[in-house]
Structure 1
């Protein structure tokens, strides 16, 4: 969207969609730092409108989000899509609460989330149709670095060192299995409806290693090492070898670097009102700590 999208403009655009018959009670929902979500009731049913254009610098293409949402719905882990047009996706509203870090840190809840991820990686991978984007984090990091150079970013002095670390992480990750992944497992993107879990916000979905979803969840929910062991052992249904733990740890570290560089680019390109500079600093600090713990050569 060319102009800065405000909450008021988002509600107006949502109500203008030709999908509606008698829309009422339009309100902005919380969450989302690349788009707005508008809740609307129409003829006794409630929906959520996700407003957002393609974000090329981040690899977000809405046709891909649509395909992922549809596959995830058939797999039973995402609300149904009811309407789509350029810049707008309408889904059923789920009367559920977004999880917090503390919620995810509950061992039983964590095991349930591992089961949801299994459905994403095994079932939704088989169900998705049409062209599907890849989400290879190390390609994304290289592209972000070049984007930042072209924009003459304030972060230029740190790029060479960060990309050298990215190369070491890619070697440490090694060969991977490609499946459909969510790739943005923030606690707020996991909804709890009376202990049924839903995943929302599929804009970064794409073919990737399941280790990225597992590592991203761990960093976003600040999981202890013990809880990470529970997550991986539940997901893989087996004890975790030292080799797999090392591969997972490198991918988890890469997910922190990707979040940091995503924010660096967003500092200059996003039209959403959000303190990206502070978000960059926070995630870079977490990345550097995680990278130091790996002790890569």
Structure 2
């Protein structure tokens, strides 16, 4: 019966590799329990497995290509684990595209800190530690990658052109001035959304290193801030934790622009995924009158909308575009653009 647990849960083509990994680690392939973990947008299959009363995490890359490269993922994950940022890695195999790590019993991260200031300070310190790791492998230039996603979205013709014309017109100002080919690169996770930030009651862990590669340091900062940094005071604390005395107006401006780049990045991904999930004979609703980001977050938390549905992805993509547009119509945007032109 224990063997059936494994054979019933693991795709047939991956089963021998999983059995070999378990035999290598535990001298057996029998397990006590297995549970498929859902909720993220990764293409990998992720399981919690129980052996000898202990939980482990089994991650299987199902689509191996340049973007979903098991070797790069395992290198980045291993470096992070060696610095006690990612859970301990017991086993990884590039050819079989799987890894077994410690399983983190996640607790609400906000409840683990006495104040919001303590939380964003801890997050800023975590990002700084990631960026101090030995340099991750290369993949793509981030802004070039975002440009590709934009072109892919435009080719889908989801909405009439006038719906997003202002978004792309203002975003073009960032494309002109942001130093996309800056050689000051760091080891970057590139997807530190709440699903990939775990808290065990004592410390923060970063998981799912699928998108990790050497990148602009402002990407991780901007992505974390999207969820956890809500005002100017918190932004100052967050950035000062990371930069210390080196924080200046240029860094603040560059961070602000990267926030808009990352909103565009996630919006394009969400809308592309929504298009792929669209019900047959269904027309995309072009209405951009949507809840704001905090309201949408509350809807997700309450279960009123699910991000793994067509409607959830479509709405989230629109909200990201709206949030970006509002920021790009602000005086701070004009100041940041002018500062990039000078530097």
Task: Name the CA distance, whole Å, in 2 between partners of 1:270 and 1:124.
Answer: 38
* 1:146 alignment partner, one of 142, 151, 173: 151
Aligned equivalents of 2:113 and 2:175: distance in 1?
31
Q: Does 1:80 align with 2:88?
A: yes
| Structure number, greater radius of gyration | 2
SS of 2:172 mapped into structure 1:
helix
* Equivalent position SS for 2:85: coil
Superposed, which structure 2 residues align to 1:102-251 within 5 Å? 106-125=116-135, 128=136, 131-134=137-140, 136-150=141-155, 152-155=156-159, 157=161, 161-174=166-179, 176=182, 177-238=184-245, 240-251=247-258
Tell me the distance in 1 between the aligned counterparts of 2:36 and 2:70. Answer: 20
TM value normalised by structure 2: 0.72
Asked if 1:65 corresponds to 2:38, the answer is no
Flag the 1:141–1:105 CA change in 2: closer, same or farther, 3 A.
farther
Change (3 A) 1:253 1:100: farther
Which shifted more, 208-217 or 76-85? 76-85
Mapped to 1, the partners of 2:212 and 2:188 lie a distance apart of 6
Q: Hey, what's the Cα distance between the residues in 2 that align with 1:172 and 1:202?
A: 29
Tell me whether 227-236 or 86-95 shows the greater mean CA deviation.
Answer: 86-95
Shift of 1:269: 4.1
Q: Does 1:281 align with 2:318?
A: yes
Root-mean-square deviation (Å): 3.2
Aligned length: 283
3-state SS of paired residue (2:148): helix
TM-score (norm 1): 0.82
SS in 1 for 2:84: coil
Q: How does 1:28-43 map onto structure 2 within 5 Å?
A: 28-35=36-43, 36-43=45-52
Structure 2 distance, partners of 1:194, 1:101, is 9
- Which one is further off, 188-197 or 258-267? 188-197
